[in-house]
Amino acid sequence: MRGLPQKATGRLVSRQLPARLQADLLGRLAITLRAGIDLRKAWASEVKRMPARWRSHLSLGTRSLDNGEMLSDALAHTGLFPPLVVGMVAVGDQTGKDVETLKELSRVINHRVETTSRLRSSLILPAVQFVLALAVVGLLILISGMIELERGKSLDFIGLGLVGMSGLKMYGVLLFSLFVVLVCVSRSVLSGWRSHGFIRGFITRLPLIGPAARDGEAAAWSQAASLAAGAGLDAGRLVALGGSVAPGLAIDPHWVNERLVSGDTLAEALHAAHRFPPELVEGLAVGEESGTVSEVLGRLSEQFADNSRKGFEAAAKAAGGGVWLFVAGLVILVIFRVFSVYVGMIKDAASQI
């Protein structure tokens, strides 16, 4: 498979066309090409359909096609498409199955968008609950500055010394600092997950989140491998495409080819890599025996994706419950703080009698 042009590869990481627009563009290209419309004319029509912010990048693909390059080269030059899309379109260009490849890619991307949308919807409520809990804390800090006890001392609801407007400002600074730390930690976690280091081992042991993350990664790999198998790619290029969308499951294609030359099946090679879930390896073995690798991997991808979605939804519900426990604990804390203050005032008054 041809490599991506250097000037395109760098942009793939930073900015991509939204998945829904990718699916629509590829699907319409499949229809127009099947109808016999010239590729350059079909692409020019698609560029006009796109929102204005993407047209300048897509016009780079127009220049590629005008220079006689293939559709995969045009996609690569825009810098707006992920490696899987560019790689599979390149396979379609080389095998003459461009229409079938574009149609299948559109279906796969649409399915991924729908799954991601359902997952995000399940995370909205816990996120709103968490924001409201933080807002309640800020409100208590502000109100505490308005309540004065004897000797001008303010009532500290939270017990952290944050009272009034000054305390609220400090609270905002703390939240911003925690947000920055969270972003940095998230990037480290993502890097550690892909590198199979300590962080990956820790995440996989977390209840709900660990299995969901593994299933999501396996779903992405199986989906890419299914497309590659359906296009007739060899094992080395199949695992290369799978690794491009699931870096945590990336293995050396040359090592895989060496295992196959020595007499192993692809399933046995993946098993020897000690990175792939048993369900994927066992399903692949069945597909190799029956000659239905693409179909089996496609079904496995859907199963893994469904399991991943359910796992993250369960984690979101658990997080929502944790937020409510936090709010309940905060209410109890405030009650005890107010009660202790008034008890202290009553004791002080009784001692003066």
Q: CB of 294 within 8 A of CB of 100? A: no
CB 145 within 8 A of CB 165: yes
What pLDDT, on a 0 to 100 scale, did the predictor assign at position 322? 83
Residue 13 pLDDT: 39
Per-residue confidence (pLDDT) for residue 87, from 0 to 100: 83
Per-residue model confidence (pLDDT) at position 216:
87
User: What's the pLDDT score for residue 128?
Assistant: 84
The one-character DSSP state at 262 is: T
Smallest CA-to-CA distance from 197 within 152, 247, 145 is with: 247
> Which pLDDT score, from 0 to 100, does residue 213 have?
85
Q: What is the pLDDT of residue 121?
A: 80
Q: For residue range 135-185, list pLDDT tens digits in order.
A: 888 888 888 777 766 655 666 777 677 788 888 888 889 899 999 998 888
Residues with pLDDT less than 70, the chain: 1-14, 148-155, 159, 190-201, 341, 344-345, 348-349, 352-353
Residue 189 exposed, middle or buried by CB count within 10 Å (0-12, 13-18, 19+) = middle
The C-alpha atoms of residue 239 and residue 319 are separated, in whole angstroms, by 36
Angle (nearest 5°) at CA 227 between 226 and 229? 65
Cα separation of the two ends of the chain: 93
pLDDT of residue 26: 92
- Burial status of residue 267 (CB atoms within 10 A of its CB: 0-12, 13-18, 19 or more): buried
> What residues contact residue 20 under an 8 Å CB cut-off, 6+ apart?
109, 110, 113
